[in-house]
Amino acid sequence: MTTPMTTLQQTTRFTLFYATSQLRLRYRYTSLGFLWNFLEPAMFLVVLSVIFSVVNRMDISDYAVFLFAALVPWRYLEKIVNSSMESIVGGDWLIKRMSVSPMVLPMTRWIMASVEFVFSMVVVFLLFGFLKPTWTVHLVVLPLSVLPWSLFGLGLGLIAAVLFTFFRDVRPIVQMVLMLTFFSSPILFRPDIFGEGTLQSAIIQFHPMTYFSALFQKPVYFAQWPSPEDWVVSFLLSLLAMAAGITMMRRYSSRFYYYL
Amino acid sequence: MKSQPVFELDDIAVYFEKHAVSQRSLRHMLGTLTGRNGQEYFHALRDIRLTIGPGEHIGLIGRNGAGKSTLLRVLSRVITPREGHVYVRPDLHIVPLLELGIGFQPDLTGRENCFLAGLLMGYSESQIEARIDGIRTFSELGEYFDEPVKNYSSGMYARLAFALATDVEPEVLLIDEVFGVGDEFFMRKCVIRMQRLMESGRTTVLVSHNLDFLVMHCDRLIWLDQGRMMMDGEPAKVAAEYRGSGGQ
């Protein structure tokens, strides 16, 4: 008897198997294989920290710790949104041939991005071994800090996936919005470099990424706990994005076939 | 539950927007919203009313573009019709073999794709594992079984799909053109397997241009033309009418 629970179980099994096979596939034809999971984020972070410390004229060790704190979760979010966006259109081989909830495709991308994020965090902590002089108890909050990032990314990814299926113009728009969000957020620079009452400080105050970034920057760089405001704003936004994403998926998934 | 229909279709209509490529832009959407663009549709199916009971063998016939494959997609729940209501009995394993393909991911190997598609059909990994040797043997893929399916010829791809779809012994099998599978020798194997499945009481819906096979093995034939059901009934009678129409 097929019940909603067996359907859910079936969908979960499929999603996990598909995500695992895609992860294996990623490095199947490379010589270093699994090692790329560590090498890729390591190379990216080292290159970026060198470039930005020179541009910002900051002590490279100090700046690298600050930069990595929010950059790694940002890359995670960006990866979820970009890969989920194209997942439905790229999954026509499945949607046009089997009866399946289209939700499995963005969910698969979300799992893959989450696994990559875990590897990146391992790399970050290995680099912190050289860069970070003091380690504080505040770091224990990080597993919880990633939750709003992850949910926010998935919610935005679901919304982007639905929109991209119907309107292919959405891709460059989403990418531009992500870029604008990144460069206007306090991921690259400390928010206190702007004086009070300036336009920049007002932007930072109302920038959603300020609260998300604080969940990582405060425990990692400032040796502080994130404030209740950081938690409330980031969780609220992530739950809103998830609710919007799931609602759109459920409402429009029956029409996907006609647009693939 | 056992005597309950497997499928019930009530006033189904499936239509696609014409010029779909240009309609995928924001510009077109804005034009539609402001009333500048008129909507034009191509009707693939219309006014379809159909009931299929357990254990029935149904053949779908009609000229190219008649709507046979679309109807099969509606039955397999791949397409949600724009209008009408579809009931599909929820307690049965339904395996669709549409255009001789299953949802195979091109970069994965034949073996991996068997697991992937099998999970989607509602089987567990251990159930698929138990059948994997049988699928490999029947498909005659040999060492290619562990190669990415994107390297397969169309015949190899179809052989694997057919082997998987029939080896798992589904309760309901939906097949689009069974006679397009592989070479003549493999096709004979397929026909024998299909006959065995049909004799064992499975519900089958077949799309084919081989009228003789359908007349011999089906309980009912449904003749579709330009998306409409022209006739539904005793195979020999429907086939004679269809042939007599000269495809008009």
* Sequence spans of domains, chain A: 32-259
Which chain A residues are within 8 Å of B76, Cβ to Cβ?
98-99
Does A259 touch chain B if contact means CB atoms closer than 8 Å? yes
% of chain A surpassing 90 pLDDT:
53
What confidence tens digit (pLDDT) does each residue in A63-72 have? Answer: 888 888 999 9
pLDDT band, residue B237 (cuts 50/70/90): very high
pLDDT score for A150? 97
pLDDT score for B113? 92
User: Per the CB < 8 Å rule, is B29 touching A168?
Assistant: no
Does A136 touch chain B if contact means CB atoms closer than 8 Å? no
How distant is the Cα of A32 from the closest Cα of chain B, in angstroms? 19
pLDDT at residue A114 is higher than 50: yes
Place of tokens 């190379």: A43
How distant is the Cα of B245 from the closest Cα of chain A, in angstroms? 32
User: Per the CB < 8 Å rule, is A98 touching B76?
Assistant: yes
Is the ipTM value over 0.95, yes or no? no
Q: Which of B24, B86, B150 to mutate to test the interface with A (most CBs of A within 10 A)?
A: B24
> Among residues B78, B9, B196, B132, which one has the least CA distance to residue A94?
B78
User: Per the CB < 8 Å rule, is A99 touching B96?
Assistant: yes
C-alpha distances out from residue A210 to A71, A187, A202, B176, Å: 12, 8, 11, 55
* For A94, nearest residue in chain B (alpha carbons): B103
pLDDT score for B111? 94
Strands B57-61 and B41-52 come out as unpaired
User: Per the CB < 8 Å rule, is B116 touching A17?
Assistant: yes
How distant is the Cα of B80 from the closest Cα of chain A, in angstroms? 6
Taking residues A221-241, report their average pLDDT: 96
User: Per the CB < 8 Å rule, is B24 touching A166?
Assistant: yes
pLDDT band, residue B24 (cuts 50/70/90): low
State how far Cα B171 lies from the chain centre. 14
Does A5 touch chain B if contact means CB atoms closer than 8 Å? no
pLDDT score for B186? 82
Which chain A residues are within 8 Å of B45, Cβ to Cβ?
none
User: Per the CB < 8 Å rule, is B116 touching A166?
Assistant: no
User: Per the CB < 8 Å rule, is B29 touching A167?
Assistant: yes
Which of A6, A17, A255 faces B115 most closely, judged by CB atoms? Answer: A17
Does B112 touch chain A if contact means CB atoms closer than 8 Å? yes
* For B72, nearest residue in chain A (alpha carbons): A97
pLDDT band, residue A1 (cuts 50/70/90): very low
As a three-state string, the secondary structure of chain A is: CCCHHHHHHHHHHHHHHHHHHHHHHHCCCCCCHHHHHHHHHHHHHHHHHHHHHHHHCCCHHHHHHHHHHHHHHHHHHHHHHHHHHCHHHHCHHHHCCCCCCCCHHHHHHHHHHHHHHHHHHHHHHHHHHHHCCCCCHHHHHHHHHHHHHHHHHHHHHHHHHHHHHHCCCHHHHHHHHHHHHHHHCCCCCCHHHCCCCCHHHHHHHHCHHHHHHHHHHHHHHHCCCCCHHHHHHHHHHHHHHHHHHHHHHHHHHHHHHHHC
pLDDT score for A81? 97
pTM above 0.95, yes or no: no
Does B98 touch chain A if contact means CB atoms closer than 8 Å? yes
